Amino acid sequence: MSPAAPAGPAPFGARLAAAADRFGPLCVGIDPHPALLEAWGLDDDVAGLRRFALTVLDALVGEVAVLKPQAAFFERHGSRGVAVLEEVLAAVRGEATQVVLDAKRGDIGSTMAGYADAYLREGAPLACDALTVSPYLGVGALGPAVRAAEAAGRGLFVLALTSNPEGAGVQHAVGPEGESVAGAVVRQVAAHNARALEAAPAPLGPFGLVVGATVGDAVGSLGIDLAAVRGPILAPGVGAQGAGPAELADVFGEARRAVVASVSRSVLEAGPATTALRDAAARAGEDAGRALR
């Protein structure tokens, strides 16, 4: 009898649930924008970018559930900035801390397949645990990314209800059948998770949502059931952007335990000392845990 094939990595939803249980439901952005580089005493160049990013990794890998590099702040430095992003992703790969690349990719056909190959294929230089994607060319257009994520045990976070004021005009719009655009996105992501969880049971499905913590009563007023998604919810807008425990409870309700609160400035402004970054992240994690768990 042939030996059994080695088990593959746990699905993304299982890895994320384990990380949130271990470290608390917190995501810290790696957002090296010019003002933060200046505040840290770093130049706005590739050397400053690299020093910033690696300092955050040194402080927070193995301390928080999720780190979320914002691709734009690396891309603005050209190919050498992208090389730093590759270094960041490689450093976190395989760690208990999950890395979500915030790139918000979304396209159709072979172009979406190209993005999927770049960020979700096993062995790709920019491979991450999960990728943020935009569904506004249609959730069906994300098919190549959905298939690539499932094949590699990775995940997606699909923009659903964002907290920027411009988003409501699109996301709250109601179609001819009476369903909001955001509601249709949530429903289709839930269907992807139902299929994935039937094939590979896990605490959370691999397909999550991005729902701003400051969207107020939009979830309820649009008749959206976030708990039915059975996937993780990434919630920007916590901390410096204004959402506290009461807002988190109001927005997410019964889905609170699937939420990972996303913060950036409130932690990163504590740097560049690694101990100060860890302390700030610990405080933010405790706040998120009290609000969500």
Q: Domain boundaries in the chain?
A: 25-176+183-292
Indicate the average pLDDT of the chain: 93
What per-residue confidence (pLDDT) applies to 239?
61
Query: Which residues have a catalytic role annotated?
Result: 104
For the cut 90, the answer to whether the pLDDT of residue 223 exceeds it is yes
Query: Model confidence at 289, in pLDDT bands (50, 70, 90)?
Result: confident
Read off the pLDDT of residues 192-220 as tens digits, 9 standing for 90 and up. 999 999 999 999 999 999 999 889 889 99
Nearest in space to 184 (alpha carbons), one of 146, 227, 245, 138: 138
Residue 4, C-beta contacts closer than 8 angstroms, at least 6 positions apart: none
For the cut 60, the answer to whether the pLDDT of residue 105 exceeds it is yes
Q: What count of other Cβ atoms lies within 10 Å of the Cβ of residue 137?
A: 14
What tokens does 67 get?
């780190």
CA 60 to CA 58: how far, in whole Å? 6
What per-residue confidence (pLDDT) applies to 246?
72
The CATH number of the structural domain formed by 25-176+183-292 is: 3.20.20.70
| Mean pLDDT on 149-154 | 97
8 A C-beta contact, residue 183 and residue 191: no
CA 172 to CA 195: how far, in whole Å? 27
Residue 208, φ and ψ in degrees, nearest 5? -110, 180
